[in-house]
Homo-oligomer: A and B are copies of this chain.
């Protein structure tokens, strides 16, 4: 069946994201260095984030609130003022951080957009994701943008039905096995896994085995050739 539509993840597929979270986590651990070893603060923060995911969803604002909550717990409910100030500032800096496409993204998307309909499919804070897309300069290459609260098979069915010719004629490409690859395959789409050096523990999953509609690509630069070969 011919491919008509390419879904692309955004964070860590088109531009850096996890590295910025990691830098902020390190900054958070340094802030609490008097209270706990870095490893302890990191673990506590991950626990609080995970616990809050259902309430806050994905994105920087929820992450900032989770850092504050962790700081409260780790200081017996009396964090020094500068800790609060630094956490609020870190969140603001993440939201305002300059966005630059990863190497090869610009060329791959230009090549793909000549033949296929490109759809951005991403989780995160609505406004922030829109702002990052605008700042990336890639916005005009996309026929549609879908910012979603969760990426499961029904999400991909709905999005590819709405913006393309159905999941069977669509490719999803992204850096998360759990959010981009597996549910897209489940929906009947093709899926390309384009790893990023860092991956959030929440997004880790096993690669599918013996799945002809799946490919692992070492770089997004290989995406146009793979899509043409389908």
Residues of A participating in the B interface, judged by any CB pair closer than 8 Å: 55-58, 61-62, 64-65, 68-69, 72, 75-82, 84-85, 88, 91-92, 95-96, 125-128, 130, 147-149, 162
B82 and A77: CB pair below 8 A?
Answer: yes
Across chains A and B, which 8 residue pairs bring their CB atoms closest together, nearest first? Answer: A57-B127, A78-B81, A61-B61, A127-B149, A77-B81, A126-B126, A126-B149, A55-B95
B91 and A65: CB pair below 8 A?
Answer: yes
Collect the chain B residues with CB atoms within 8 Å of residue A61's CB: 56, 61-62, 65, 125
Q: Pick the residue among B57, B82, B125, B149 that contacts A57 (CB under 8 A).
A: B125
User: How many identical subunits does the complex contain?
Assistant: 2
B77 and A79: CB pair below 8 A?
Answer: no
State the main secondary structure of chain A at its contact with B: helix
Collect the chain B residues with CB atoms within 8 Å of residue A92's CB: 55
Known pairs A126-B125, A126-B147; A84 contacts B68 (CB<8 A) = yes
A69 CB → nearest B CB, Å: 6
B88 and A68: CB pair below 8 A?
Answer: yes
If A61-B65, A127-B149 are given as contacts, then 18 extra A-B residue pairs at C-beta distance below 8 Å, sorted by A number, are A55-B92, A55-B95, A55-B96, A56-B127, A57-B125, A57-B127, A58-B127, A61-B62, A65-B88, A65-B91, A68-B84, A72-B81, A72-B84, A78-B81, A79-B81, A84-B84, A126-B126, A126-B148
Known pairs A61-B62, A126-B147, A127-B149; A85 contacts B77 (CB<8 A) = yes
A2 CB → nearest B CB, Å: 24
A81 to B75, CA, bound (A): 9
A7 CB → nearest B CB, Å: 17
A79 CB → nearest B CB, Å: 7
A179 CB → nearest B CB, Å: 15
A92 CB → nearest B CB, Å: 6
